[in-house]
């Protein structure tokens, strides 16, 4: 390869192009200025955000929807600290993401220079790995390493901090000989993710599945990260075992499938929660026994043996002792498991699960999700709004949610029949996630319809990115469930703090969401009665040249059920008040 | 100050890491984030200068050490990690100590130094500075026997360890 002298800034942009980056989300500033100059000529589309946090969540939304790493680029100091929340969000939900931050010149590091902060120090605990690049010559190699680390093994965010003097053409330290880095250039002696599961352990797991009378497939976000939804469907249909999909795995197994029990956990449905609880075998695939799923740990699935499959060996046995722990990529392990089960003989050699199946379907019949429709004059029921959204959109619609009651309603009431159609903030629970994530998803999947389901608390945190959507022509649709409250906190105060409502009421008067949305270039619709809901959704779906915000005025008294209260076991699940009589 | 001898609650972990800036902070951060206290720490390059060896002892009573080791392994810069069983390892630590040595006690102190095969590094009329390299438990004993003379300053390095040869 011919040696070409270029600046570190040009090398950085070239390196990103070589990694296949087609779009990045960012906002320029002093320290990163030299990198923004070559972006003018680059094939990479740059989406200019209104707040750096938005760039991070857009990169996440892009990654969730496409499976490709999301890329964000911002300057030093406050821009880097604004990126901490999305990095942590991506870290907890294992989202592949590469974030480039500017840094003050190398010699100025540690002098409290203008807009200096210890970015690698601050982000150490919220990234899979981070780099502070000291020489321009290292840029192509480190960018390649960053993408490799972000996308392999357990995916996650990687940050690359770039001092200004190694990218600024006026600095002698920025001169470098261009090379296109390949795997052979990587210097990562301590990083070797294991992909294939251990054959013997897989055989043991297959035997446990064969012999189980009350098994459940407990599916987590790792199945989506491994692009293993098809393999999972084959496994579930082969062994005819019911499937629960966690908040991070909604859509990994089709909700409409007979074997699908839906979401377990704190606001999971009765059948999913109870099936786990009474199972004799839990086959955990890419899930991590999060406290929102297990409830009080020492009462979690007390009779269940555990098969735990995860690419991250630190997850195996971290929360719950396992009987068989298999380190490996979910797709490869599921495929090997199918093979091992075949070798053991067909499903007719398995334990009799007839009783289990009828028990489970009995729960489904007795404890469906329910809500009471609003009386005339009452505000809208949020569940009704989600149902109407679901019924008036194609099943491959990408749905992004914020965090709170509206997130749980969305997970419960939408039917997720395709992988990568539900994007939300699970581990970190980041309010304000949905709008920027939806913009990121739409950027990556421009032909798909993208709805953000948001609450009014969340909306006020990141709504300014709708300006980004207008200016950059990335039209999304926002269903704003406005109950004027921090709804989930209100629910906890009602249930666990004696209805003493402390700092949860936002305002019935301001902001005027319609005016606000219109001022950002969006079409805006306010909906107050049930008969207006469907027409408003239909109208929103007909508008594709700009973003649409539909404000639904919803009933603040509505609570999310079922609920496993914090500190309780899954056996103490509270169903909707109308179903309480059905519990023994 | 350490007076414990290695028991079940103290674990010696030896890691080989890339010799790069910030690696120690990553390793140390993993412990502090989980509320573990690093009891002693020794860091230096290995024979291959691309790598350093970090030897630390941790008090992990009541906490799963297994989880720390797995989390350490996830650090990109950590190349190898092993927990050393004190029974299958050679452990050494170096102590520098300045002891009061007035005329009345000087003779007894020099006798003690001789018995322990410690080295006198520096001295004046009132104090003697000496060094001893030994197993950490032996240093504890040595320290205790010096205490009656009066210890002016003391510094220990933290243990280093390698597996025993069979």
| Inter-chain residue contact A313 with B21, CB threshold 8 Å | no
Here the tokens at position A446 are 């421009």
Closest residue in chain B to residue A319, using alpha carbons only: B67
Please determine, for residue A246, whether its predicted confidence score (pLDDT) is greater than 60.
yes
Q: What CATH number labels B91-163?
A: 3.30.70.1150
Is A313 at the interface with chain B, CB within 8 A?
Answer: yes
What local confidence, expressed as pLDDT, does residue A70 receive?
A: 98
Instruction: Please give the pLDDT value at position B6.
Output: 43
Does the B10-84 domain belong in CATH 3.30.70.260?
A: yes
* A95 three-state secondary structure: coil
Domain ranges, ordered by start, for chain B? 10-84, 91-163
Encode pLDDT of A419-441 as tens digits.
999 999 999 999 999 999 999 99
Query: What is the per-residue pLDDT for A185?
Result: 97
Distance from CA of A313 to the nearest CA of B (A): 7
On the question of a common fold for A4-185 and A199-366, the answer reads: yes
pLDDT at position A382 is 98
Cα distance between residue A255 and residue A272, in whole Å:
12
pLDDT, tens digit (0-9, with 9 covering 90-100), for A180-228: 999 999 999 999 999 999 999 999 999 999 999 999 999 999 999 999 9
Selected from 3.40.50.1220, 3.40.50.12780, 3.60.15.10, 3.50.50.100, the CATH number assigned to the domain covering A199-366 reads 3.40.50.1220
Torsion of CA B11, B12, B16, B19, to 10 degrees: 100
Hey, which residues does A47 pair with through a beta bridge? A25
Determine the average pLDDT of the residues in A365-382: 96
- A191 to chain B, closest Cα gap in Å: 5
Classify domain A4-185 at the CATH class level: alpha beta
Contacts of B79 in chain A (CB under 8 A): 189-190
Please name the residue that has the structure tokens 């890339």. B18
Q: Does B91-163 match B10-84 at the fold level? A: yes
Interface test with B, best of A110, A189, A194 (most B CBs within 10 A): A189
Collapsing DSSP to helix, strand or coil, B87 comes out as helix
Q: Do B70 and A189 touch (CB under 8 A)?
A: no
Give the per-residue pLDDT at A40: 97
CA distance B63 to chain A (A): 12
Does residue A190 sit at the B interface (CB-CB below 8 Å)? yes
Residue from A482, A483, A504 nearest A493 by CA: A504
Question: Per the CB < 8 Å rule, is A128 touching B73?
Answer: no
The mean per-residue pLDDT over the stretch A450-471 comes to 98
The Cα–Cα gap between A514 and A512 comes to 6
Quote the pLDDT of residue B3. 40
Contact A411, A369 (CB under 8 A): no
Of B25, B67, B77, the CB nearest to A318: B67
Distance CA A68, CA A225 (A): 10
Contacts of B29 in chain A (CB under 8 A): 124-125
- pLDDT at residue A273 is higher than 70: yes
Q: Do B78 and A190 touch (CB under 8 A)?
A: yes
Can you give the residue ranges of every domain in chain A?
4-185, 199-366, 382-553
Residues in chain A with CB shorter than 8 Å from the CB of B73 are: 313-314
Cis peptide preceding A122, ω within 30 of 0:
no
Say whether B70 and A132 touch across the interface (CB within 8 A): no
Residue A554 DSSP class: B
One-character DSSP codes across A29-78: -GGGHHHHHHHTT-SSEEEE-SSHHHHHHHHHHHHHHHSSPEEEEE-STH
Per the listing, tokens 């052979």 go with A184
3-state secondary structure of A70: strand
User: Regarding the domain with residue range A382-553, which homologous superfamily does it belong to in the CATH classification?
Assistant: Thiamin diphosphate (ThDP)-binding fold, Pyr/PP domains (3.40.50.970)
The model's confidence at residue B2, banded by pLDDT at 50, 70 and 90, is: very low
| Separation in Å, CA of B77 to nearest CA in chain A | 6
pLDDT confidence of residue B166: 78
Tell if the CB–CB gap between A190 and B18 is shorter than 8 Å: yes
**Contact between residue A283 and residue A341 where contact means Cβ atoms under 8 Å apart:** no
From its phi and psi, is residue A494 left (phi > 0), alpha (psi between -120 and 50) or beta?
alpha
CB contact under 8 A, B73 and A314: yes
Q: What CA–CA distance (Å, rounded) separates A459 from A482?
A: 9
DSSP secondary structure letters along A293-314: HHBSGGGSSTT-EEEEEES-GG
Catalytic residues of A: 52, 114-115, 164, 488
Distance from CA of A149 to the nearest CA of B (A): 9
Structure tokens that stand for B97 in this block? 């100590």
Q: How do strand A175-178 and strand A4-7 relate by DSSP bridges?
A: antiparallel
Structure tokens at A367: 């404890």
Residue A429: its pLDDT value, please? 98
Q: Give the nearest chain B residue to A318 (CA atoms).
A: B67
Residues from chain B contacting residue A313 (CB–CB below 8 Å) = 70, 73
B52: Cα separation from own chain's centroid: 16
- Across the interface, whether the CB atoms of B75 and A128 are under 8 A apart is answered no
């Amino acid at each position: 390869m011919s040696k070409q002298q270029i600046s570190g800034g040009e090398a950085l942009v070239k390196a990103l192009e070589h990694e296949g980056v087609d779009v990045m989300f960012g906002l320029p500033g002093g320290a990163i200025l030299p990198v923004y100059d070559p972006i003018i000529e680059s094939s990479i589309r740059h989406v200019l955000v209104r707040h750096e946090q938005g760039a991070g969540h857009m990169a996440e939304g892009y990654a969730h929807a496409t499976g490709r790493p999301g890329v964000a680029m911002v300057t030093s100091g406050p821009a880097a600290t604004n990126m901490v929340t999305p990095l942590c969000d991506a870290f907890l939900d294992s989202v592949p993401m590469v974030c480039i931050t500017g840094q003050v010149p190398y010699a100025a590091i540690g002098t409290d220079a203008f807009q200096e902060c210890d970015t690698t120090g601050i982000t150490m605990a919220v990234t899979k790995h981070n780099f502070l690049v000291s020489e321009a010559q290292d840029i192509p190699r480190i960018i390649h390493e960053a993408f490799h680390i972000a996308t392999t093994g357990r995916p996650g965010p990687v940050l690359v901090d770039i001092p200004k003097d190694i990218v600024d053409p006026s600095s002698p330290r920025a001169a470098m000989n261009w090379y296109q880095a390949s795997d052979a250039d990587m210097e990562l002696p301590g990083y070797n993710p294991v992909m294939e599961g251990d054959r013997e352990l897989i055989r043991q797991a297959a035997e446990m599945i064969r012999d189980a009378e009350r098994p459940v497939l407990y599916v987590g976000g790792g199945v989506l990260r491994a692009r293993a939804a098809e393999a999972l469907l084959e496994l579930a249909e082969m062994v005819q075992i019911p499937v629960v999909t966690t908040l991070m795995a909604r859509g990994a197994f089709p909700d409409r499938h007979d074997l699908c029990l839906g979401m377990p956990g704190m606001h999971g449905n009765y059948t999913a929660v109870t099936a786990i609880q009474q199972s004799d075998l839990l086959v955990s695939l890419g899930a991590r026994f999060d406290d929102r799923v297990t409830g009080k740990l020492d009462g979690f699935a007390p009779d269940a043996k555990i098969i735990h499959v995860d690419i991250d060996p630190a997850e195996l046995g971290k929360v719950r002792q396992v009987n068989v722990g298999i380190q490996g990529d979910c797709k490869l392990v599921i495929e090997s498991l199918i093979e091992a089960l075949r070798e053991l003989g067909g499903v007719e050699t398995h334990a009799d699960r007839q009783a289990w199946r009828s028990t489970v379907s009995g729960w489904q019949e007795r404890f469906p999700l329910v809500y009471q429709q609003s009386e005339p004059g009452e505000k809208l029921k949020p569940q009704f709004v989600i149902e109407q959204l679901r019924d008036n959109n194609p099943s491959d619609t990408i749905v992004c949610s914020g965090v709170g009651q509206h997130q749980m309603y969305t997970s419960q009431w939408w039917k997720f029949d395709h992988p990568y159609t539900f994007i939300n903030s699970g581990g970190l629970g980041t309010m304000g996630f949905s709008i920027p994530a939806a913009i990121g998803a739409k950027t990556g999947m421009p032909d798909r319809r993208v709805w953000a389901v948001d609450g009014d608390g969340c909306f006020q945190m990141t709504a300014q990115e709708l300006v980004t959507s207008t200016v950059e022509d990335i039209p999304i649709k926002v269903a704003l469930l406005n109950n004027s409250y921090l709804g989930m906190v209100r629910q906890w105060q009602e249930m666990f703090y004696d209805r003493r409502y402390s700092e949860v009421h936002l305002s019935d008067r301001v902001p005027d969401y319609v005016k606000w949305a219109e001022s950002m270039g969006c079409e805006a619709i306010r909906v107050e009665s049930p008969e207006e809901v469907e027409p408003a959704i239909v109208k929103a779906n007909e508008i594709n040249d700009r973003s649409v915000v539909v404000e639904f005025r919803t009933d603040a008294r509505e609570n999310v059920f079922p609920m496993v209260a914090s500190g309780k076991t899954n056996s103490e699940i509270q169903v909707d008040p109308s179903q309480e009589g059905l519990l023994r | 100050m350490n007076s414990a001898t290695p028991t079940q609650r103290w674990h010696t972990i030896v890691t080989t890491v890339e010799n790069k800036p910030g690696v120690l902070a990553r390793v140390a951060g993993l412990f502090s984030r989980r509320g573990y206290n690093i009891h002693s720490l020794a860091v230096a390059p290995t024979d291959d200068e691309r790598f350093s060896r970090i030897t630390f002892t941790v008090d992990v009573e009541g906490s799963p050490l297994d989880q720390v080791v797995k989390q350490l392994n996830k650090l990109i810069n950590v190349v190898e990690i092993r927990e050393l069983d004190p029974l299958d390892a050679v452990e050494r630590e170096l102590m520098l100590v300045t002891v009061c040595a007035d005329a009345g006690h000087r003779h007894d102190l020099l006798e003690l130094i001789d018995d322990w095969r410690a080295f006198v590094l520096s001295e004046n009329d009132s104090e003697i500075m000496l060094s001893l390299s030994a197993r950490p438990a032996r240093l504890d004993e040595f320290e205790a026997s010096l205490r009656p003379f009066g210890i002016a300053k003391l510094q220990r390095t933290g243990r280093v360890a390698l597996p025993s040869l069979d």
